[in-house]
Amino acid sequence: MTELEKLKKYLDEHNIINMMADHFHSGKSDQIIVYIPVDNKHWEVQDSRPWGVVKDRKGQYCLRMWDVVCHKYSYGGPEGLLEIYGDIADLEDVDGWLTAEDVIEKYIKKDSRFNGEV
């Protein structure tokens, strides 16, 4: 199981809204986009980040928070490791060379539902 597949499994098992994407249109899923539910569609206008708002299958508006990629151009991708950017990244831009467990730990520390405990 790849690091991206491990992370996808964790997100799905914990009902974290996410979707797989084909970042480079290569025909394979190499990106996971993670969303959080928001109260209303006004986030689309009020939020200044270029993340975007989508509706989930239940019609709930969701704000894009962070992404994970693993491809030949990503930091760690050639080694099968993950690169993250967005809300959970430690750096201003991206964090790379991460395992699924590293990403999960960053997510848990950032998400207030877990009180910073892994």
pLDDT in tens, 20-59: 988 777 778 899 999 888 765 554 444 444 457 777 778 7
- Summarised one tens digit per residue, pLDDT across range 64-76 is 889 999 999 999 9
pLDDT band at 112 (very low <50, low <70, confident <90, very high): low
- Which residues does residue 36 pair with via DSSP β-bridges, in sequence order? 63
The SS3 call for residue 102 is helix
Sole residue written with tokens 């200044």: 48
Q: The whole model's pTM is what?
A: 0.81
pLDDT given for residue 24 in this prediction: 74
Whether the CB-CB separation of 89 and 102 falls below 8 Å is answered with no
Taking 70 as the threshold, does the pLDDT of residue 14 lie above it?
A: yes
pLDDT band at 113 (very low <50, low <70, confident <90, very high): low
Residue among 29, 34, 41 at smallest CA distance from 17: 34
Please state, rounded to an integer, the average pLDDT across all residues of the chain.
83
